[in-house]
Amino acid sequence: MIKERALGNLLDAGFPYSRCLLGHSSCVNTLAFSNGDGRFLASGGDDLKIQLYDFQQEDLNRPSWSFVGPMSNVFSLAFSANNTHLYCGTTGHKLYKYDLATLRDVSQFPISPIDMLDDHDDTIRDVTCHPSQSELAMTASEDGRIVLRDSRIDARRPSAQATLQNDSEVTGVRWNPRMESLFATSDNRGRVCLRDVRTAFGSGANRTRKPLQQFVTSLSKPTRNSLVSPESSSIAWDREDYRSHCLYPTFSLKTHNLGLTSTTQNFYPTLYALSDPHPIAICRGGVLPDGSPIPDGERTYSNACTIKHGSFGGPSLTSDAYYGAGSDDFRGYVWKIPETAMLLERRREIDVDSWLLEEAETAAFARSARETRYQPVSLSQPLFRLNGHMSIVNSVLFHPSLLHIVTAGIERHVILHSPTKSSPCTEELTLTPTTVRSLPAGSAEDHSRLIQAIASGLGTNDMEEDAETIALFDEIIRTEGEGRDVFSSRECDESEDEDEGASESDEDTRWY
């Protein structure tokens, strides 16, 4: 208990030291730590490369191994349960598999994949591996399919994989790290579901179209007749199944000791308890970490641009009491999440008649316009913010055992953050600047450059210089991000509610 308290106090004080990890030449889209003690950090981006950093180095600053093979942007990475393989999903709808067993023998050469699977028709948005069976992995794609793969079976045989078909783009899939038959999914229509592998991919007789739980993600205001459903763009569990669901940049689910996060646009990370379909908290940046108001003109937490990935963490602690997410204001944010029981006790439940009497701008969650509204606890004060970036931060990832957090986004480097100047894998870290670059005013030339980039394929590795990429995303923020509100961006058609009378005997399995 004394050690845990001391570590908690150290984490709560923030991560003021940092260092850039070199190795990429353009945007870094995805980060993943290896299982267990997190010896390896894998990163992938628009330069079509995967870099592997070894946290057993004495002074980490560059990758130890580089992986080649992808012909399009790297969007997702995952280690197999025993860390013998690394999976890579790309915008070119291909899944690459790398053998990590011989790393020490080929450290001087780029490593090529041992397998390439082409079972999707669109971008692979997420890859997840079974927590204990290294042969099992799942992929989620914008083609609407989730594919379950078993490497023990010849990939050319139909029995090597099973497919769950969705009626819209699938944006996230994550295996539950403790309850191994469960997994969570998200899609671009805002639906986040808890599912069971045995029924989602089972035989025709056992397969069901209904999820175990469909979490309430649609939002309501007293002055609106319709609901709004923010797009969920990523999900992630915490290690202990203890917290909840994060909905804006990331959606998170927790039960007793384990959590899941799912990212949504134009709203806030939203936390759910696993056994409760209604959210219990949202993570905001309404005040500064010291509790003082946001100064006039200073930008704060937002997620209107790019795809964000958040994570739970608690380095060296027995539970993941922290949640981190990237933001359009060029920072990473970390919140300390209260106990679930406390959040449930403070959550407001408002009946339909009383809801109409609430202030016009009040927002709450509801399954339909006719049901009770649930207003989760607003965690407006982040514990601390992570600086050092010049543009949008897309990923915030806690190291599973060391006192480090890594962040990445529009720039070509990964930033390693620390609460101390040195650690077992670093020496002489420097203090991170406390100021953040201001978003400059735009011009007609900036907007024309953005239109040209979109027309030619935004996000390709043709833009080699950080300065050009940063200027481009500055214009994206000015065009899409500033003042964007979820209630003006999406409508939720109530006909999308679950069809309780749907047959469960159909051969194909659909999400709804």
pLDDT at 506 over 60: no
pLDDT at 459 over 60: no
- pLDDT value of position 478: 87
* CATH at 64: 2.130.10.10
Rg for the chain, CA atoms, rounded? 22
Q: How many domains does the chain have?
A: 1
Backbone angles phi and psi of 128, in degrees to 5: -140, 145
9 part of a folded domain: yes
Instruction: Pick 24 or 506 by higher pLDDT.
Output: 24
- pLDDT value of position 328: 94
Instruction: Pick 59 or 466 by higher pLDDT.
Output: 59
How far is Cα 311 from Cα 317, in angstroms, rounded to an integer? 15
Average confidence (pLDDT) over 136-142: 95
From 42-46, 173-177, 241-245, 378-382, the region with the lowest mean pLDDT:
241-245
- pLDDT value of position 202: 76
Instruction: Pick 510 or 493 by higher pLDDT.
Output: 493
60 part of a folded domain: yes
How far is Cα 256 from Cα 10, in angstroms, rounded to an integer? 25
The single-letter DSSP state of residue 104 is G
> Which residue range is the domain that position 249 belongs to?
2-436
pLDDT at 479 over 50: yes
H helix intervals, 67-223: 197-200
Average confidence (pLDDT) over 65-73: 94
Average confidence (pLDDT) over 287-304: 92
- pLDDT value of position 351: 94
- pLDDT value of position 489: 61
498 part of a folded domain: no
From 243-247, 429-433, 455-459, the region with the lowest mean pLDDT:
243-247
Average confidence (pLDDT) over 403-417: 96
Backbone angles phi and psi of 312, in degrees to 5: -90, 155
- pLDDT value of position 282: 92
Question: Using an 8 Å Cβ cutoff, are 210 and 504 in contact?
Answer: yes
Residues 6+ apart with CB under 8 A from 390: 330, 410, 411, 437, 466, 470
Average confidence (pLDDT) over 490-501: 43
How far is Cα 163 from Cα 505, in angstroms, rounded to an integer? 16
Instruction: Dig out the tokens for 375 from the structure.
Output: 């207003």
444 part of a folded domain: no
85 part of a folded domain: yes
- pLDDT value of position 509: 29
How far is Cα 397 from Cα 408, in angstroms, rounded to an integer? 9
From 32-41, 272-281, 310-319, 340-349, the region with the lowest mean pLDDT:
310-319
Read off the amino acid at residue 445. E
Name the burial class of residue 305, with classes exposed (0-12), middle (13-18) and buried (19+) by CB atoms within 10 angstroms of its CB: buried
Give 344-397 pLDDT, tens digit per residue. Answer: 999 999 999 999 999 888 899 999 989 999 999 999 999 999 999 999 999 999
H helix intervals, 286-377: 340-346, 352-355
Give 124-137 pLDDT, tens digit per residue. Answer: 999 999 999 999 99
Average confidence (pLDDT) over 50-71: 94
153 part of a folded domain: yes
The single-letter DSSP state of residue 157 is S
Give 82-119 pLDDT, tens digit per residue. Answer: 999 999 999 999 999 999 987 876 666 788 999 999 88
Backbone angles phi and psi of 250, in degrees to 5: -155, 145
From 29-43, 257-271, 430-444, the region with the lowest mean pLDDT:
257-271
Q: Is 469 helix (H, G, I), strand (E, B) or coil?
A: helix
pLDDT tier at 494 (50, 70, 90 boundaries)? very low
Average confidence (pLDDT) over 16-39: 95
pLDDT tier at 171 (50, 70, 90 boundaries)? very high
pLDDT at 504 over 70: no
8 part of a folded domain: yes
- pLDDT value of position 508: 33
pLDDT at 1 over 80: no
Give 299-313 pLDDT, tens digit per residue. Answer: 999 998 889 999 998
394 part of a folded domain: yes
From 32-41, 51-60, 65-74, 150-159, the region with the lowest mean pLDDT:
150-159
Average pLDDT, the chain: 84
Average confidence (pLDDT) over 213-221: 92
pLDDT tier at 146 (50, 70, 90 boundaries)? very high
pLDDT tier at 477 (50, 70, 90 boundaries)? confident
pTM: 0.89
Say what percent of the chain tops pLDDT 70: 82
